[in-house]
A = this chain, B = another copy of it.
Amino acid sequence: MTESAVWPARSRMRPLGGDQTTIHDGFWAERLRVNRERTIPHGLGQLRRAGTLDNLRLAAGAAAGDYRADADSGGAVLPFLDSDVYKWLEAVGWAGDDGLRAAADEVIAVVAAAQRPDGYVNSFVQVVRDGRPYQDLAWGHELYCLGHLVQAGIAWHRALGDDRLLDIATRAVDHAYDALGEEGIDGHPEIEMALVELARVRGEPRYTEFAARMLDRRGHGRLGEGRFGPAYWQDHAPVRTATEVAGHAVRQLYLDCGAVDVAVERGDTELLDAVRRRWDDMVRTRRYLTGALGSRHRDEAFGDPYELPPDRAYAETCAAIASVMLAWRLLLATGEPAYADDIERAMFNGVLSGLSRSGTEFFYTNPLHRRTHRTYEPAGHGQRAPWQACACCPPNLMRLLSSWPHYLATGDETGLQIHQYATSTIRVGEAEIAVRTHYPWDGRVDVSVMRSPQRPWTLALRVPGWCAGATLAVAGQEPLPVAAGYAERTRVWAPGDRVTLDLPLPARCTEPDPRVDAVRGCVAFERGPIVYCVESADLPETVDVDDLRWDPAREVVAVPRPELGEEWVGLDVPVTGGGVASAIPYHAWANRGPGGMRVWLPR
């Protein structure tokens, strides 16, 4: 068994290894295929084109010239570009594809060559600065980059048994430990979760203690005011006492990932409870319907409670990804199904919207409303781009999709829990099950037991919180109603046993919280885990998405949309004037040229 990305020594639910779940077919199989065949290779090309690899070559003394900044950055030289290389390497690690693995050898060699004899590696500091490490912890992103190097090393170690990157990363961490073990925190959290995972891999608790000290140092104004005040980097209040998420969304969520990891490792329920409190508040007051997070452009920040403008949503792809990472940690720690619901909402909507159908273009921000009539914009604006000057999101999507099978299921002493539905095979110990489903387009999930030990164990299937009227039929018996949460059946399972979960998927008309000013008087449409939107591409030239008004007197009807994808389902939404507007899954918008789009339709 190979370990997966998050591998606590103990937790309420136990993750499965990367080789214990295989997705064979259906929605996710197709997205994972595109990630492997298109997105990750495209990423390598872009790392070459943008100069990101060359920057490491400069650090290695293996090339000459200027440190490269992407042309789109307006000449700014960004200090965190190495992390894009590491996230790409992590994606290759979890993808388990021999062709990609071979292509990555060159990249690993570049990283190895860039590392100094003292273990330090950071192309920006080595090339653009004077080589003195840790001089600008607030903005320099050195430990942030290091954290991503560690996570790449762990992926290659766990999934491929290849320790080249892990050895590089460990030497680099030891360098940082010697310099900063007693003082210093990074303006951008990320190192904390990486250190805990490294402690798990290396059996070295001192890395966890290093992370724990960084968590406790934060929140006391050590990072200064910066441009946006101390809350921007979560330095305004201690991680144990802050009651609300604040500041830069990705930073907050990465910080809380590290906090859960430390809490689980040390049995620190106070710390875990602090993260859970923030999560609950965030979901209640600051999350978009699509699972997107962060409403402010200026500082990439969470807004105030209920400040959720659909048009000016920042909704960075990385923030939705970070929420999946954090919800997974909370699910493992607590076993509460709501976290799996949260993962599903983010993945099918706010995460996938970051990626084009082609797999080679990316959104950085994911608004829920784009007006048809726009003031002057540069060409390509509002469309996904092949890469970004600040290219954090593309390789983050790659590594998440590569590791997505990790998120399907967990095991514990009682049995097996299935959290996400895909046509797949899942193996735990002596048990093996096969899942067949056309989810998310169809709500039926068939589970067949292929192998089983000769003792009772519990099969738990998640019934999403949005679902009413779900039923479960076990081994040919009558279907019985099951409530949201985990539908559990305990028995001595035998090969050939079948369980059928039926999740009704009527179109749902969703009212916003009345405290969200920006969408008052509007409704959105959902079906199963999918949030829908109306897009110009489906409207006559003469109709503006912003002029549509929902007509509640008529029914919303689910309709096949085979031109969008096999089995895909759209919604026909009745609008005033007697017609209907064709709604498509939100994550699929902006694949048919520029235009307007709305998730929330006025009544």
A residues within 8 Å of B by Cβ? 74, 225-227, 229-231, 236-237, 242, 244-247, 296-298, 302-307, 309-312, 369, 371, 373-378, 514-515, 517-522, 546, 600, 602
Contacts and interface: CB of A to CB of B under 8 A. Distances in A.
A304 B369 CA distance: 12
A143 to B, nearest CB: 22
A309 B312 contact: yes
7 contacts: A225-B378, A304-B311, A304-B373, A309-B309, A514-B602, A517-B522, A518-B518
Given A74-B227, A305-B375, 6 more contacts: A229-B377, A245-B375, A303-B375, A304-B371, A307-B311, A517-B602
A150 B311 CA distance: 41
A298 B299 CA distance: 8
A236 B378 CA distance: 9
A408 to B, nearest CB: 35
Contacts of A244: 375-376
A375 B297 contact: no
A231 B245 CA distance: 34
Contacts of A521: 520-521
Given A74-B226, A515-B546, A296 B310 contact: no
Contacts of A247: 376
A517 B230 CA distance: 32
A515 to B, nearest CB: 6
Contacts of A296: 297, 312
Nearest to A549: B514
Nearest to A311: B307
A514 B548 CA distance: 11
Contacts of A374: 304
List the 3 closest A-B pairs by CB distance, nearest first.
A521-B521, A520-B521, A297-B298
Given A297-B296, A297-B298, A298-B297, A305 B602 contact: no
Interface of A is mostly: loop
B74 A225 contact: yes
Contacts of A514: 602
Contacts of A302: 375
Nearest to A522: B520
A515 B309 CA distance: 14
Contact of A231 (B375, B515, B517): B375
A279 B478 CA distance: 70
Nearest to A374: B304
Nearest to A76: B227
A225 B73 CA distance: 10
Contact of A602 (B229, B298, B378, B520): B520
Contacts of A376: 231, 236-237, 242, 244, 246-247
Contact of A305 (B305, B309, B373): B373
Nearest to A314: B298
Nearest to A73: B227
A561 B515 CA distance: 30
Contacts of A373: 304-305
A401 to B, nearest CB: 29
A531 to B, nearest CB: 17
A276 B307 CA distance: 35
Contacts of A225: 74, 378
Contacts of A297: 296-298
Contact of A307 (B242, B303, B312, B600): B312
A227 B73 CA distance: 8
A517 B373 CA distance: 14
A135 to B, nearest CB: 15
A517 B602 CA distance: 8
A414 B518 CA distance: 50
A285 to B, nearest CB: 9
A373 B307 CA distance: 11
A518 to B, nearest CB: 5
A74 B223 CA distance: 12
Nearest to A297: B298
A376 B242 CA distance: 9
Nearest to A547: B515
A520 B377 CA distance: 26
A521 B244 CA distance: 29
A231 to B, nearest CB: 4
Nearest to A299: B297
Contacts of A310: 517
Nearest to A514: B602
Given A312-B312, A376-B236, A377-B229, A306 B517 contact: no
